[in-house]
Structure formats: structure tokens, C-alpha cells
Amino acid sequence: MEELRFDGQVALITGVSTFGLGLAYATQLAERGCAIAVNDLGRDWAGGTSEPGTAEAVRTITDGGGTAVGVSGDVVSDADDIVHRTLDSFGRLDIVINNAGAGGDFDTLVDVHLRGAHRITEAAWPHLAETGAGRILNISSNGSFGAPAMPGYAAAKGGILSLTRTQAILGRRDGIRSNAILPAAWTRSTAGIDNTEFAEFMRTHFPARAVAAFAAYLLHTETVVSGESFTVGGGLVSRVVQAETQGALSGDHNPEAWSTLIDDVMADSSMTVSTSMWSQLDAFVGRMGENVRADWETARIQPDTDAKVAS
């Protein structure tokens, strides 16, 4: 099998410190010829601040024979500057990995994980479009399934999944593809969990490089997958979807009617997977009565895939 190379390309990766997935993504791509701009602000998972790890990350990459620069800054307030400095260094931008993360209160978590991913991508968008084959990788988490005691983290990581699908739709015209991963790996965040057995389990079975390998696959120009999300860890990859059951239809618009229908609503033997709000509505109406479906064919709004990324 021919090696997947990234020669001549440039990647901007946020949240790259001295240990963890950000550095794994960076070294994986650098080993395959990609020039790397690494970003870090120095926020830790306890909500505090520390010295940005960009300088050491750059040393690690260059010592391995790669090309890298550091572009420290806040992914929300400094997004334009981070992208501009990347362009000043390398003259182009092909890949964005939105990996930045931090602990803190609800607002901080949503800012760093979700708003940061949007702001960096928004600033990078015209340059990704210019290449005709821009690639975006957003980092979500299994916390999106529900994270006890961390509602801000769960909300932000859940939002990443919807953001990714929307970016993929908006990117079709310009050849931009966007995907998300929910990684399981030995990182700064998992290392901070106070449980020796769990730490050893993660260290043994979930190396960061296993996640980085699939990330690199998604980011390659020959990969056509877009708008998808995947759980990734230890060599296992699974597709993550938002799905609907077949549901139940009632002509009795009173609360009492649903007492006898709720089991049909909950039955998961048949699922519909939609890729946008319009495909969801189309499938939903398709499960209603013939008269409703006929009217829908007349009233249907065609999605505008040429829309720009909105703030």
C-alpha cells in the first residue's frame, strides 16, 4: 500500500503541548512531510494557567526531522492572528486540527472547546478553500454522550458534532472536508484522573499514536469522507451517528394519546441517520401520512449549500 504523504502541505494544530494527542497529531503529520504550526495557550485541566508548550513541541518535531513553528495564543480572541502567523511562516494552510482544550467553568469549557473550534476554522476558511482540498478535524469526546459533573464539557463536545456536519455541508463547494473524532488515549487529561488502575489501563491499551494514525487518514487529500464522527482508540474505530427511531404517528393531538404510543416511539429496531437539518426533515415527513408527504413535495425548500461560514 502506498504511503499517505503530506509533502508541501501545512497544518495548524491547536492545543499542542509537550504530551498528549496534539503532539501526536503534529509528529504523525510532520513525519509524512507536512509543515506544522503548533498552538498552545498554557491552560491546564484544573482551570489554571501555565507556560505554553509550543517551544518544546516545536523542538520535538524539528529534532525528529520535521518542520514546525509555534503560534501561541487564545483560540477565541486571537484566532485571526494565529492563522495569519501560520500563513506568514509557510505561505499557505491546508489542514486545521481543532484540538485545544482546558478545564474550568461552563463558559470557559464552551469557549475553548466549541467557540475556539469555530473561530479558528472561520479564520482559516478562505485559505483552506484556496487550496481546493482543505481539511478540518474537530476533536470531540465520548463526554458528548453525557459527562457526569461536567455539563459544560459535555455541551461543548456535543456541539462539536453538529458544527462538524455543518462545516462539511458548507465546504462542499470549495472542496473542504470536515470530520470529528472522539478519541480515547493516554493524554494529559486522562493522566490527571486519580486512579492508578485506570491510568495503567489507558497507558497500556490506548497510545496516542493509534488515534493520530486514523486522524492522518481522515486528513489526507484522497480521503473523501466528510461530515462524519468516529470514536477512535487503541486501533479500533467506530462511526458515531445521531439517529431517529421509526416513531409513532397519532392523529389525536392530546397528551393522553402518547401513553399508549410511547413504547413505539422508543423502539430502536429501525433507525434513520440524517446528515443535515433538511435531510432529517425530509425523512421525518416521509414517515407521515400520504397527504402530508404530497404537500411536502410542493413546499420543500432546497438546501443552500453555497452559504458561507457564519459567525
What is 163-215 written as a DSSP string? HHHHHHHHHTTTT-EEEEEEE----HHHHTSS-HHHHHHHHHH--HHHHHHHH
Strand locations in 246-305 (E)? 271-273
Helix, strand, coil % (nearest 5) of the chain?
A: 45, 15, 40
Active site residue 25: no
Q: How far apart are CA 180 and CA 163, in angstroms?
A: 9
CA distance linking residue 110 with residue 95, whole number of Å: 23
Q: Would you call 219 helix, strand, or coil by DSSP?
A: helix
> CA 212, 216, 222 angle in degrees (round to 5)?
160
Catalytic residue among 6, 25, 125, 153: 153
10 phi/psi in degrees, rounded to 5: -130, 135
Task: Give me 26's grid cell.
Answer: 503534529
Under a CB-based contact definition with an 8 Å cutoff, are residues 71 and 54 in contact? yes
The one-letter code for the residue type at 69 is: V
Task: Specify whether the CB–CB gap between 44 and 15 falls below 8 A.
Answer: no
DSSP 11-75: EEESS--SSSHHHHHHHHHHHTT-EEEE----B-TTS-B---SHHHHHHHHHHTT--EEE--S-T
Cα(173)–Cα(80) distance, integer angstroms: 23
Residues catalogued as catalytic = 153
